Every structure is written in structure tokens, then in C-alpha cells.
Copies of this chain bind each other. A is one copy, B any other.
Amino acid sequence: MRSLEGPFRAIRNVAVTAAGLMLATYGTSAVAQQGGHGHAAGPLVLKEQGMFYVGGDIIHTDWANGPNGPPVFSKSADIAVNQMYVGFMIPQNQRGAPIILMHGGNLSGACYETTPDGRMGWYEYFARQGHAVYLPDQVTRARSGFNVTPYNEVAAGVRAPSELPNVFILGKDDSWQSFRFGPTPGAAFPDEQFPLKAIDELAKQTIPDQNPGQQLPPGPNLTPTRLAELGKKIGGAVLMGHSESGFYPEDAALADPSGLSGLVSMEAPTCKASTLSAAQIAKLAKIPTLVVFGDHIEDASKSSVVDWPAALADCQKYVDAINAAGGDATMLHLPDAGVRGNSHMLFQDKNNLQVADMVLSWVDQHVTAKPPHHN
């Protein structure tokens, strides 16, 4: 295991530790940007922005429309499934590695755009720091769409209601306790960094989760595969995952590591330390890896849907295994680096740009940058 604090005293967080009196070496600093609406740093200058889809299959279905749907729309049709939506911003003046920001459960790319209380999110901040940034929606969610066939089959009576794919929403109380806002719903930890006044805005970002892993019958989760394809399309990128997608970077690298230049696992419920083979560890050890956890791991509610102490321990075990195999893995447990009060939603917390600086500092030091060349 590498030093906890060393890498995070570097370039980008100088401005943070010096309380805004000292400018960062390049670009704009987190402190300068956290005032006001987070846009004090001047214009955002982009070379390019837009969207594309990665992957996807054209299939035939007999149930593109339901039995009670408007008769004018065909039931028998060729439709696209399994595609992944990707938004992107490429700054005019690029430096550093391209970054893919993968969201977690019940969320979409929206969670990285603007914080629930209206501050700048990591999507824009990373672009302002010179990184090309890619913002997908998971396969089966939001702008990526999902396959309507099983729903209409159930409506038509040709599939049992019990075989309806599961769709779920994490309720406000589950979020409060599982995201470590405080010990019980409505009660916050004294140093809590999540902007709790905007809790209902987080609820609005919380949309149905239709991941196949949550479904009966379960199907394959195609998002890690699509992320590996996205990395190749870009020509090399740091892949960051969070929560449900916390270990997707490693899952993607196991599928195809060729487009992935760095793996960042944030707040993963598991790092599969006990289930990966030596060959898998050896494969993963070829890519620099950062694992990030916020604060209050031990204080988490017993009603949390994730066992946070077990998750941290499992991911520490994973970091140790990668390093034992000759890899370059770093555990960034924020309180150990002197940064306290962060929730599970550390990219939305009040100090989200301070945490961003720490992550980008790691990228600068551990990942060889290449310019993106997607098309």
C-alpha cells in the first residue's frame, strides 16, 4: 500500500491547503471556484461538446408496443437495445488524461453535472482543469433507454407478472442512512459535508434502477463492457466509478484493458478481493488504481444498505493485492488524509472541488496522459 497522504499534497491541492491565498500551478483552483455559483473562474472554453452512443444491437421484438398502447404504433418492430449514451466536453486547452465519469445506482450522468444545491459538479470542473470528460448514462437507464419487450409481454399476458424486470428507487430514508448523511434520517453528523438543505434535489436525481443484476431473470450487466469500448474509442482514458459502479472500472478492465489508462473506484460496496483469481489480479495490476472512501465509515447507520466497514476492508485488501502483484494502487480514505465529514456522495459534498483536486492530483502523478481521439 502506498502512502496515504503523499500524493495528495501535490500541485492541485496547494490552493486548498493554503486557504485560497496561493494559486494552483495551473488553471483555476477549487477555492477560487467555490464562491458564489461556482462560476467565478471565468468562461468555460470548449473545443467540442456533444453526445454519442456506444454499442447497441438492433433486434426484432414482437412487443415494441403494448397490448393497450395506441394501435397506430407497431408491436412487431426492429429496435435498438443495449446501447450506452455518452455526453462529452473537450476543453480548448487540453492537458492530462481524458476521464470517464460513471454514475452509481439510481442516478444518471446528471449527478456529476451540478450539485443538488447548484454548485459546479465534477463534469465541468474536470473540463476546466484541462481534461476531456465523458459522461455516460448506464445501459438500461436514462438516455440509454431500456428494452420494453418484457414489460409489454407481461401487459399482454404472455409473461408472468412475477417475471417483470425489477425497477426500484432508493427512498429518501435509505439514502440518508446509506449515504452516511447521519446516524438516523433527519439527524446529520456534526461535520457532515453533504448539502442537506438540498436533499429533495438529490431525490429528484434519483431515478429508477433497471440494472439486469437487479432483475429477475437476471441478465448480463453490459455497462462495464460498454465502458471498456468507450475507453478504446477515446484512445485511452481514466475510468471512474461510484457506488453501484464503484468496481465497474475493474470489471471493464477485466473485459478489455486496452482503452483504460487509470481506474478510480469511489465508495465501492465491494472490491471483490476474495473472489478475484491471481490471473485477474495480475491483469488489473497493470493499470494504476485509486480507491476513494469518504468519512464516517464506522459511524454508518446499522440500517445502511451497504456494510461500509466491510466495504472499506475489502477494498483495502484489494489495494494490497494489486500492490503485492507489482501494481500501483492507492487507498485514499479521506479522513486519513485530513479531510473530514465527506459522505458517500463526495462529488456533491460542499468540499467536492477539494476532493476533485485530490483525485486529479493522483491522475497527474500516476497516469500517462494521451489526447482523446474519439470519432
Contacts and interface: CB of A to CB of B under 8 A. Distances in A.
Interface of A: 37, 39, 43-53, 56, 58, 61, 64-70, 72-74, 76-80, 83, 85, 87, 92, 108-110, 113-114, 118, 120-121, 124, 137, 142-146, 148, 151-152, 154-157, 161-162, 164, 166-174, 200-201, 203-208, 214, 216, 305, 375
A360 to B, nearest CB: 19
B167 A152 contact: yes
A155 B162 contact: yes
A79 B143 contact: no
Nearest to A60: B171
A168 B152 contact: yes
Given A114-B52, A166-B155, A203-B58, A172 B73 contact: no
Given A46-B46, A49-B124, 9 more contacts: A37-B48, A51-B110, A51-B113, A77-B173, A77-B174, A78-B173, A80-B206, A110-B143, A145-B208
Contact of A168 (B48, B64, B108, B156): B64
Given A79-B172, A206-B79, A305-B73, A49 B53 contact: no
| Copies of chain A in the complex | 2
A137 B142 CA distance: 9
Nearest to A151: B167
Nearest to A206: B80
Contact of A171 (B77, B145, B151): B77
Given A80-B200, A144-B207, A148-B208, A70 B214 contact: yes
Nearest to A115: B50
A118 B374 CA distance: 11
Contacts of A171: 64, 74, 76-79
B208 A53 contact: no
A299 to B, nearest CB: 19
A48 B39 contact: yes
A1 to B, nearest CB: 30
A203 B80 contact: yes
Contacts of A207: 143-146
The 10 A-B residue pairs with the shortest CB-CB distance, nearest first, are A77-B171, A145-B207, A50-B114, A80-B203, A53-B204, A65-B168, A155-B164, A83-B204, A69-B166, A51-B113
B164 A154 contact: yes
Contacts of A87: 113
Nearest to A137: B143
Given A77-B169, A164-B154, A143 B142 contact: yes
B78 A172 contact: yes
Given A152-B167, A169-B64, A170-B73, A51 B375 contact: no
B73 A85 contact: no
Contacts of A144: 207
Greatest chain B CB density within 10 A among A47, A78, A168 is at A168
A204 B108 CA distance: 17
A85 B110 contact: yes
Contacts of A114: 50-52
Contacts of A173: 74, 77-78
A168 B124 contact: no
B47 A39 contact: yes
A70 B50 CA distance: 36
